[in-house]
Structure 1
Amino acid sequence: MELESLIRKNILNLIPYSCARSEFNGEASVYLDANENPYNRPYNRYPDPLQRSLKEKIAKLKKIQPCQIMIGNGSDEPIDLVFRIFCEPQQNNVVSIDPTYGMYQVAANINHIEYKKVLLDENYQLNAERLLNATDKYTKVIFLCSPNNPSGNLLNKLEIMKVISFFQGIVVIDEAYIDFSNHASWLVNLDKYPNLIVLQTFSKAWGMASARCGLAFASKKIINFFNKIKYPYNINFFTQNFISKCLNKENKKNEWVKMILSQRQLLTKTLQTLNNIVEKVYHSDTNFLLVKVKNATNTYNELIQKGIIVRNRNSISLCNNCLRITVGTENENRKLIEALKKSNEKKSFIYR
């Protein structure tokens, strides 16, 4: 696979914007190159457009090279950039699984790219052959979310390998929830598969959703194209510093993950006892549970009345009468269970 053949011609030939902070990389005593206000230091200075210091930290954490990292404003930025780099509007298409994270389709629609859906099986698993059969000569990208949202499960590794190996285009694996799984990240395969892009985030396990910091990992060649078309100062000074400080607290992150996994197990067992409401709790490799109930909309509205908000996924493919429940603190989970138990007892009385 020649990467250049997949890149949009206008992107391939694009001369990127050159900002002051990208032209000079180093330390100086006097900065008179960027038309900055000389007062109110350090906030008067533009941030590093390539986030070099932060990438060094992330590279050590992830055991890869800094040149294999693109830092985005949430994962949504690199998702959008994938379309801008590889897909010609009204000409190319992308293929993805269904159900999955809805932003892939939104980004496709914004960029005027056809979005093809391939339904997962009844266990929310991927069939590589069916997915590949949905591609054609105009398909540039395949999006896979694993662990998947809203189903919560990891996609079969062998099926993903078939997709990456046989598809002559870009494969994006979104690993927003990988920290809650006991399986290895696809990052270890970056050097093996030049067409692979892995997405991760600091929003979930690291508890930094408000910082809006997502990560794209790929070959140096692909990352160079991300850097070529992204906005120059896409990650501000405050976010870079905040993320950098938080990365020193990996033990704290691991402690949070451990507590969430413990609560996930307890929540699963308890929900399975509420037979008058709950029909099935699906296996989860994430920090949430997909739960099939007898009437999702009624249960959702009853919980709202008690000040408890979950996500109603009733209208999503293969998720009829399903609620997506995030694993909260022990106290939050207790309040949820107490509310559902009262509803369960009420329905038990009615059914008798």
Structure 2
Amino acid sequence: MFELNTIIRPNIKSLKPYSSARDEFKGEASVYLDANENAFGSPLSTNYHRYPDPMAYAVKMRLSEIKGVPARNIFLGNGSDEAIDILFRSFCNPGVDNVIIVPPTYGMYEVSANINDVEIKRINLTEEYQLNLEGIAEAIDKNTKLIFICSPNNPTGNSINREDIETLLANFNGIVVVDEAYINFSRQKTFIQELTEYANLVVLQTLSKAWGLAALRVGMAFASEEIIEVFNRVKPPYNINEASQQLALEALQNVEKINNWIKEILKERDTLVLALKSFDFVIDIYPSDANFILVKTADADGIYKYLTEQGIIVRNRNKIKLCEGCLRITVGTFEENQALINSLKKLKND
């Protein structure tokens, strides 16, 4: 049975979070002389001289409307990477505890583990890019605190079998982190709706992909109120800047536009896959639930080098286990995809 108190680091349990000026006074006033800000304003067209809402409450309320989740179950971070780092700092004792990752997968899980001096146990995905449940079960010990699952997975693009993730949630006494950065492009429904079923579930999402706000660095974590409280205790006091909060809030009013873009991206993805299949140096194109495709080629390094010389940049995943010979290609606009195909046609004719 999962018990949150048994996996929180002792120093985090007793941590008294920093109390900022905006934590201590949350109302409206005519004169603010409490936070040592520059009362004269900013040398910009928009004033940014006041500290932002430390909890980004307005953004959370709008996300609550869109996602159907109470604001108290939402954490906002500087990208999902901040949430990943907080998970390590909150639940993993350096040099003692371990986490499980399932390569090939998003590289920041391993980077954050290394930064926080936490052992990594790698249980590779199967040849079909699905979970090796038996291998994961054998790897779990009393010091295993987190299991990271990216679904749809990066770099493979496929969704992980839902039943397998539910098996882990039901049987693992640590936290299962389901990273849904690409969920907007997926046929699989989000795990957010399962938060009331599983106390050990943390779902990560982002505004960087479908929402087109990568430069703002706004990531989301959805979890039980108790886990979110731990996140808020550990995070820096003003972790989401005012510009990002304002622009994110503005963007979140445009759900219909984003949904139309998603449809267009999926249409372009299908067209791109069909075009790539015509090249004899393309060995396989793996099924994708994301805004990118993983393409197995006869010469990934050579094709990558050639495309770079043409000013077209894709991601070379050739050196990653289970992705040998593969290029990861983001679905671009119609014009960008055509530029890629036309360049590959020239390569074929050379």
Count of aligned pairs: 345
Give the aligned CA root-mean-square deviation in angstroms: 0.9
Give secondary structure in 1 for the equivalent of 2:39. coil
- 1:83 and 2:84 equivalent? no
Give secondary structure in 2 for the equivalent of 1:323. strand
Superposition pairs of residues 216-255 of structure 1, within 5 angstroms = 216-255=221-260
Give secondary structure in 1 for the equivalent of 2:123. strand
Correspondence for 1:48 among 31, 53, 72 = 53
Alignment TM-score, normalising by the size of structure 2 = 0.97
Aligned to 1:334: 338
Aligned to 1:350: none
Which blocks of at least 5 consecutive residues in structure 2 are unaligned? none
- 1:123 and 2:124 equivalent? no
Q: Which stretches of structure 1, 4 residues or longer, exceed 3 Å deviation after superposition? A: none
Which blocks of at least 5 consecutive residues in structure 1 are unaligned? 347-352
Shift of 1:129: 2.4
Shift of 1:256: 1.0
Give secondary structure in 1 for the equivalent of 2:311. coil
Aligned to 1:278: 282
Structure 2 distance, partners of 1:154, 1:344, is 32
Structure 2 distance, partners of 1:109, 1:290, is 27
- 1:15 and 2:16 equivalent? yes
Correspondence for 1:287 among 291, 315, 318 = 291
- The answer to whether the 8 Å contact 2:123/2:132 transfers is no
Aligned to 1:5: 6
Shift of 1:133: 1.6
Superposition pairs of residues 175-214 of structure 1, within 5 angstroms = 175-214=180-219
Residue 35 of structure 1 aligns to which amino acid in structure 2? N
Residue 302 of structure 1 aligns to which amino acid in structure 2? Y
- The answer to whether the 8 Å contact 2:157/2:292 transfers is yes
Structure 2 distance, partners of 1:343, 1:55, is 48
Structure 1 distance, partners of 2:336, 2:252, is 27
- 1:325 and 2:329 equivalent? yes
- 1:27 and 2:28 equivalent? yes
Residue 33 of structure 1 aligns to which amino acid in structure 2? D
- 1:173 and 2:178 equivalent? yes
Shift of 1:224: 0.4
Structure 1 distance, partners of 2:4, 2:178, is 18
Taking only the aligned residue pairs, the percentage that are identical comes to 52
Residue 297 of structure 1 aligns to which amino acid in structure 2? D
Shift of 1:132: 2.0
Structure 2 distance, partners of 1:48, 1:162, is 38
Structure 1 distance, partners of 2:133, 2:319, is 25
- The answer to whether the 8 Å contact 1:128/1:160 transfers is no
Alignment TM-score, normalising by the size of structure 1 = 0.97
